């Protein structure tokens, strides 16, 4: 048996591949191969998967989900029994400055992938057809923004995306739903809150704060810093996806959250406090002195919050990490993996950050 993971060299995708191949929770799948398809755009990084070099259960293929011939060949040749679709452009600031790539990747790419998978699925023998799954990984940003007093997003919230990124993901979610109701494709969808953890590309808030703090740079915070997000440790997200893939009800959506609502400014201050202990500044001053407030970005959603009771009550999943334990593990990982950080920051990424933010290199809180 084989699963196809798209976008498996990105942040969440690579963590999922690593966890899937290391997981002892599925002894019946201990020999299952992972086909990892990623086009290696700016956020795709094969160094994330370096520990899998020589592992016969991991087959990496450089390619695009929109390449129907390639995807069809992989599905047939490897007798794929499930597709887990992480492939997406996911950076809000990038979507504001260049939305066309998001339309192409997140909408057109998902359409092409769905059509290719549908053709493969329809030709399967009945038993394999019944067992097949297509799991689409999405975001809480499709639901729009919450006021401080509003209840958290449930799976019943209507879609109100506010950025080109979230609009493109909302469109992809609608396509997945339609392919299930129209054609019977056995789909599952997850909508997650803000992820953090190892291998997070350092244009996003948490890794960029760590990187900038250690480099002695400003730590820019958009607006008043009171934008609130629910934070989910990436390995908890991976365990949730495994559970949904194994036990989720076809056609259903499951919100995946960490039950950790935090304001951006509190996230930044927490990281500064951890660094003060783990790697103090040479001058003995607190890293919080580097915090600076900058103009807010256009259409910045004020609050996201996930109500994850459905996945807990129906599938028995809940996060293992609190924010306090998860952020401590994350900061420690970045301190121990400075070579990875340096490599990721080189070349085109560094040039883009300079163009986007100038000397105040800020991060995407999503």
Known catalytic membership, residue 143? no
Known catalytic membership, residue 199? no
The residues, any chain, with a CB within 8 Å of residue 364's CB and separated by 6 or more, are 91, 92, 93, 94, 203, 204, 205
From 120, 143, 165, 222, active-site residue: 165
DSSP-assigned letters across all residues of 314-334: HH----S--HHHHHHHHHHHH
Known catalytic membership, residue 67? no
The residues, any chain, with a CB within 8 Å of residue 54's CB and separated by 6 or more, are none
* Neighbouring C-alpha atoms within 13 Å toward the C-beta of 216: 5
From 38, 64, 89, 141, active-site residue: 141
Cα separation, 294 vs 202, whole angstroms: 18
Q: How many CB atoms lie within 10 A of CB 8?
A: 28
For residues 255, 261, 266, 270, the Cα torsion angle rounded to the nearest 10 degrees is -70
From 93, 140, 236, 364, active-site residue: 140
The residues, any chain, with a CB within 8 Å of residue 351's CB and separated by 6 or more, are none
**Catalytic residue annotation:** 140-141, 165
């Amino acid at each position: 048996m084989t699963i196809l993971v798209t976008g498996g060299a990105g942040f969440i995708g690579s963590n999922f591949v690593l966890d899937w191949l290391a997981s002892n929770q599925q002894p019946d799948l201990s020999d299952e191969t992972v086909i990892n398809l990623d086009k290696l755009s700016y956020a795709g990084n094969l160094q994330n998967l370096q520990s899998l070099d020589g592992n016969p259960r991991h087959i990496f293929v450089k390619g695009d989900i929109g390449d129907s011939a390639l995807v069809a060949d992989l599905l047939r040749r490897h007798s794929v029994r499930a597709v887990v679709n992480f492939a997406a452009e996911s950076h809000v600031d990038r979507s504001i400055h260049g939305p066309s790539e998001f339309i192409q990747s997140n909408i057109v790419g998902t359409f092409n992938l769905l059509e290719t998978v549908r053709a493969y699925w329809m030709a399967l023998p009945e038993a394999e057809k019944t067992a097949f799954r297509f799991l689409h990984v999405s975001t809480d940003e499709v639901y729009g923004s919450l006021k401080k007093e509003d209840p958290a997003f449930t799976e019943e919230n209507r879609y109100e995306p506010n950025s080109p990124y979230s609009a493109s993901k909302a469109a992809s979610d609608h396509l997945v739903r339609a392919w299930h109701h129209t054609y019977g494709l056995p789909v599952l969808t997850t909508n997650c809150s803000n992820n953090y953890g190892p291998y997070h590309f350092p244009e996003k808030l948490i890794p960029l704060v760590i990187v900038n703090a250690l480099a002695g740079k400003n730590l820019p915070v958009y607006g008043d810093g009171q934008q609130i997000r629910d934070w989910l440790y990436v390995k908890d997200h991976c365990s949730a996806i495994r559970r949904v893939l194994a036990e989720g009800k076809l056609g259903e959506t499951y919100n995946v959250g960490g039950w950790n609502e935090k304001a951006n400014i509190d996230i930044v201050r927490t990281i500064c406090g951890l660094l003060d202990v783990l790697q103090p500044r040479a001058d003995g001053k607190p890293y919080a002195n580097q915090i600076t407030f900058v103009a807010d970005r256009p259409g910045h959603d004020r609050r996201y919050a996930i109500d994850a009771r459905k996945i807990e009550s129906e599938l028995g999943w809940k996060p293992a990490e609190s924010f306090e334990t998860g952020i401590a593990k994350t900061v420690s990982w970045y301190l121990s993996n400075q070579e990875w950080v340096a490599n990721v920051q080189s070349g085109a990424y560094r040039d883009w950050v300079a163009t986007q933010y100038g000397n105040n290199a800020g991060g995407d809180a999503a």
